[in-house]
Amino acid sequence: MRELLGRLSAIDSNAENAVRVIAHFDALTEGHAGVDAFVRAAAALAECTAGLQYPELRLYIRFDSGGNRLQRGDGQIRSPIQCLDGNGAEVWLERPVEATSTDVMILERLAAGVLVALERTYRPMARRVPDLVELMLDDRAGEADRARAADQAGLTRHAPVRVVASVGGDQALPAEWRKLSTTVATFTASIVAAATWSVDSAPTTRVGVGPAGPPAALPRSWRGALAALRLTGAGTAADPGRRLLRYDDLGAVGLLSETIPAAAARIDDVVTLDRVGEELPWALATLDALAEHQSLRRAASALHIHHSTLQERVGLLERGLGYSLGNVTGHNRLFLALVLRHLHRNGDMPIQGFC
């Protein structure tokens, strides 16, 4: 792009400006920018105030060339104007002189971008719930656009909410979790009132619960929900572990889940766990119980086996792992190995790239 702009600048400055304008607005469209971002960009590119009004949606937006939001102006000069529909919706530049060809190009791209953004965030409620949820979770979106989406979704500005991340589709979730939900990659993201995260019985799917906060903090709750989800297990012999975890309960382990990629989590201790699990079908569930509970008796009770049986298993496991499970160092090593195994098996967090 830089090389192309350099060549065009030497040949035709108007052509260079046109390519620059097109590239700028295309980048905003690809990044799912909101209407504020498009109007602000038009003002910067035209080096004058730009505006948008959409009476049907009660939208009126103006930015000056420095990126400052302006109030409704009386008698401002609008030249040129690009209409968006036949009901008074339009975008404009405010110039006291005749518009240039670049101005016309800027308005055309502004109008196209605004219509794409409005289609994404202002469709009829029954059709746009997933888009509203996606917009509220995306920290790349502007604060004003996320706040507007929260208002349209019926969320109160300061009422605490949280995100629940799950796998297996929303049909496995309670009804109240499905009201505001969308699909991101292979996960379901649900926005729920802060007090409704719990379930009456054990969930049938893996669930991660993000921290509570106002709607403006939903991107952070989404990251926390995914971090908790990465540490859950299916509750089976091959994938033991809790099906539901809250980020608030994870402490420093939550930070590990947010920062360690799946590929880097497969260290030698994780490879050893998988090998021992293949050799001894009961091994992974037993190791999970040992890491979860503070005493052999409690672990045996959770596994529904006799205390002496567990002691025999521990001896076999220690030989297979190559370290003792009877001291703090060994216990911590086992716990971290199980954490990393979950991170490797459950994959990376799809924080970027809402599509």
User: In residues, how long is the chain?
Assistant: 355
Multiple choice CATH, 263-346, 3.30.70, 1.20.120, 1.10.3470, 1.10.10: 1.10.10
Quick one: pLDDT at residue 11?
40
State the pLDDT confidence band at 329, using cuts at 50, 70 and 90.
very high
State the pLDDT confidence band at 81, using cuts at 50, 70 and 90.
confident
Q: For residue range 156-166, list pLDDT tens digits in order.
A: 888 999 999 99
Strand order in the sheet with 207-209: 181-184, 187-193, 161-167, 207-209, 244-246
Contacts 24+ apart (CB under 8 A), 332-336: 333/269, 334/287, 334/290, 334/291, 335/291, 336/269
Cα-flanking dihedrals φ and ψ of residue 169, to 5°? Answer: 85, 155
The encoded tokens of residue 246 equal: 């809250």
How many whole angstroms separate alpha carbon 228 and alpha carbon 155? 24
State the pLDDT confidence band at 199, using cuts at 50, 70 and 90.
low
Can you give the residue ranges of every domain in the chain? Answer: 2-121, 127-233, 263-346
Answer whether the bond into residue 80 is a cis peptide, omega within 30°: yes
β pairing state of 244-246 and 50-54? unpaired
Quick one: pLDDT at residue 75?
58
The encoded tokens of residue 280 equal: 């001894």
The encoded tokens of residue 332 equal: 């911590």
What is residue 276's three-state secondary structure? Answer: helix
Quick one: pLDDT at residue 198?
61
Contact 176, 196 (CB under 8 A): yes
How many whole angstroms separate alpha carbon 117 and alpha carbon 321? 55
Answer whether the bond into residue 211 is a cis peptide, omega within 30°: no
Q: Any bridge partners for residue 191, and if so which?
A: 163
Contacts 24+ apart (CB under 8 A), 100-103: 101/14, 101/18, 102/14, 102/17, 102/18, 102/21, 102/45, 102/46, 103/46
First-residue to last-residue Cα distance in the chain? 24
Average pLDDT over residues 138-164: 88
The encoded tokens of residue 27 equal: 């980048």
